[in-house]
Structure 1
Amino acid sequence: MKHDIAVAELPPAPSSPEEAKAALDKHTVEMVQWHFSEETGSPFWLEKKSTYDFDPLTDVTCFEDLRQFPEFEDEWLRGGPVRRWLPKGLEGKPLYVFETGGTTGIPKSRLVAEDHWIDYEMFSHTLPDEFFPEGADWLMLGPSGPRRLRLAVEHLAQYRGGISFCVDLDPRWVVKLLKAGKVEEAKAYQTHVIDQAYTVLTAGHDIQCMFATPKLLEALAMKLFDEGTSIEEIGIKGIFAGGTEFTPQWYKFCKEELLGPNVYITPTYGNTLMGLACGKPFDPAENYKITYYAPQPRAAVEVVDFDDYNKPVGYGETGRVKLYTLTKELFIPGFMERDEGEREEPCDKYPWDGVSGVRPFHVFAKTTTVGVY
């Protein structure tokens, strides 16, 4: 790995569920102390503290104690001033603001200094060097603009010694076209994006790795087939992809029809608040089942009861996805995602709970428009 641009010393990964639980409890307490201390905390959480009937500084002694916090409200992330989220302990650092959503109304935004770099350095250590070679260049085939993904993938490439090539892509425009029933215009925009990617891949560069959403990866593969080549023949060895369209059925189709046996692909589940949850290593015996594990202890995911968001469901049972963000830059004690899935047991590589079958939360599913994802 190329560590000369690394921004964080990553702790050793826990080797058992007990170690993982202890690390999460310790990290939770440290983050609560940071965000609710008068010396280091953010204006938002210092103001909220006065409204609680408990004291976060003394009453949070483990991860489960975060359930004392009232439900985090989605609307708190819409609009400004965005600096209300800046912890005093980070004042003076160069800052980014990243947006998510925003197809209608004010988008949710997140203030960031280095979290997007740290998240992707952690993710880098989960990638097999055989398929993501050190020094290889990357294609970033995903949303650009005010989203963190472009800069995060760019850092991932640089961290591994490579260069990231990017395309212009506005996912909000795609969703607007689809909502207006302008399917042909949306297809034309997708073609415009794929043409950009094809141009980069055929311009004589040595691109061996890429990020793509499932829809765009499929469209790119079809474009290459039409041109008499393929993802493998164009030089791609490793892909990480993410999006709601990454289903077991698509996973099977992708590996068998689009990529072939020599191109590696790993599913991911992430967003601007969490970072990147990794997919459990592929196991043929699991019939393309996709299980995600959050990047603990910096973020954690629970699958909770539809009627009681403080009650995790049993293993194998279905519930709504609840996200906790626990970094020095952002503290979110339980954000109800627009997704549902099944709770999964820890695995060897990630010895903490996971979630499988991630799909739009059934209450919202009929009103959700899926664009490039």
Structure 2
Amino acid sequence: MGKSNWGKQIKLPYLNNKVTSVNEQLQEVIATHFDPETGSKYWLKKEKELNLNARKDITDFEDLKAHLGLKGDWLQEFEDAMRYLPIRDMVPKSQHKLIKTVGETGGTTGVAKKAVFSREYWNTLLSFLNYAIELHGLPTDGDLLYIGPTGPHAFGFFAMGIAENWDSLFFTIDLDTRIIKKFIGEGNE
């Protein structure tokens, strides 16, 4: 995908057709995480270590890859930080009061990491999921049976949020995909 595609304007039907670009979203994220007063403790420390001025030096995804491309040892360091550092070190100070929930994600592809969801982001994700469900003509007027990972797993929280939006009862069968992976690895089918 070429650099020019990242600046493309996109409509978000699940957000009342708000028009934005990926680069605009990236610049907002960079400005928030690297604000000297209210940014993320982790990223401000990383910015200093790299002798970087992220808010000036990163304007698009090519810049992001060039300056903060997570590779090799640094990728491992970042993943460890997402697992073990206090979550408030990773989240910009300006966002601490906006956190709705902290879950886990990525356990199927490796060791699980923390996933932080603000109320606004949470509502955006639920709007998108509801949009996708309606787009495919799935019924929304009944109760919901969810078979998948629950507990600290992010997607279980989303399924519960969908049921709440529909005023549905939420039934669950906890199925952690990591156990399926383990059984397949042991030759069980």
Normalising by the residue count of structure 2, what TM-score does the alignment of the two structures yield? 0.71
Shift of 1:131: 2.4
Aligned partner of 2:137 in structure 1 is 131
Aligned partner of 2:156 in structure 1 is 150
Shift of 1:108: 2.0
2:139 corresponds to 1:171: no
CA contact (8 A) 2:33 2:91 kept: no
Q: Which has the higher helix share?
A: 2
Task: Please list the CA deviations of residues 126-185 of structure 1 after superposition, one character each: whole Å capped at 9, or x if unmatched.
Answer: 33368234433222121122211111012123224434321122333333333334x1xx
Q: 1:150 to 1:66 in 2, by over 3 A?
A: same
CA contact (8 A) 2:88 2:96 kept: no
| 1:92 match: secondary structure | helix
Aligned partner of 2:63 in structure 1 is 65
CA contact (8 A) 1:145 1:170 kept: no
Letter in 1 for 2:179: W
Shift of 1:113: 3.2
| 2:104 match: secondary structure | strand
Aligned length: 168
Shift of 1:94: 5.0
Find the aligned partners of 1:43 and 1:52 in 2 and give their Cα distance. Answer: 14
| 1:125 match: secondary structure | helix
Aligned partner of 2:44 in structure 1 is 46
Residue of 78, 85, 90 corresponding to 1:85: 90
Find the aligned partners of 1:59 and 1:24 in 2 and give their Cα distance. Answer: 17
Aligned partner of 1:109 in structure 2 is 114
Q: How does 1:348-359 map to 2 (within 5 A)?
A: none
Shift of 1:49: 0.8
Find the aligned partners of 1:178 and 1:131 in 2 and give their Cα distance. Answer: 33
Find the aligned partners of 1:49 and 1:158 in 2 and give their Cα distance. Answer: 40
Find the aligned partners of 1:168 and 1:91 in 2 and give their Cα distance. Answer: 30
Find the aligned partners of 1:86 and 1:123 in 2 and give their Cα distance. Answer: 24
RMSD: 3.0
- Runs ≥4 in structure 1, deviation > 4 angstroms? 101-106
Find the aligned partners of 2:99 and 2:18 in 1 and give their Cα distance. Answer: 29
CA contact (8 A) 1:99 1:146 kept: yes
Letter in 1 for 2:27: V
2:120 corresponds to 1:122: no
Q: How does 1:244-323 map to 2 (within 5 A)?
A: none
Q: Which has the higher strand share?
A: 1
Letter in 1 for 2:143: D
Shift of 1:81: 2.4
| 2:49 match: secondary structure | coil
Shift of 1:53: 4.2
Larger Rg: 1
CA contact (8 A) 2:41 2:89 kept: yes
Find the aligned partners of 1:40 and 1:10 in 2 and give their Cα distance. Answer: 27
Task: Please list the CA deviations of residues 243-285 of structure 1 after superposition, one character each: whole Å capped at 9, or x if unmatched.
Answer: xxxxxxxxxxxxxxxxxxxxxxxxxxxxxxxxxxxxxxxxxxx
Percent of paired sites with the same residue: 28
Q: 1:56 to 1:129 in 2, by over 3 A?
A: closer
| 1:176 match: secondary structure | helix
Find the aligned partners of 2:110 and 2:59 in 1 and give their Cα distance. Answer: 38
Shift of 1:56: 1.1
Gaps of 5+ in 1: 1-8, 15-19, 188-373
Normalising by the residue count of structure 1, what TM-score does the alignment of the two structures yield? 0.39
CA contact (8 A) 2:150 2:174 kept: yes
Shift of 1:46: 1.0
Find the aligned partners of 2:30 and 2:42 in 1 and give their Cα distance. Answer: 13
| 2:52 match: secondary structure | coil
Find the aligned partners of 1:69 and 1:10 in 2 and give their Cα distance. Answer: 31
Shift of 1:57: 1.1
| 1:98 match: secondary structure | strand
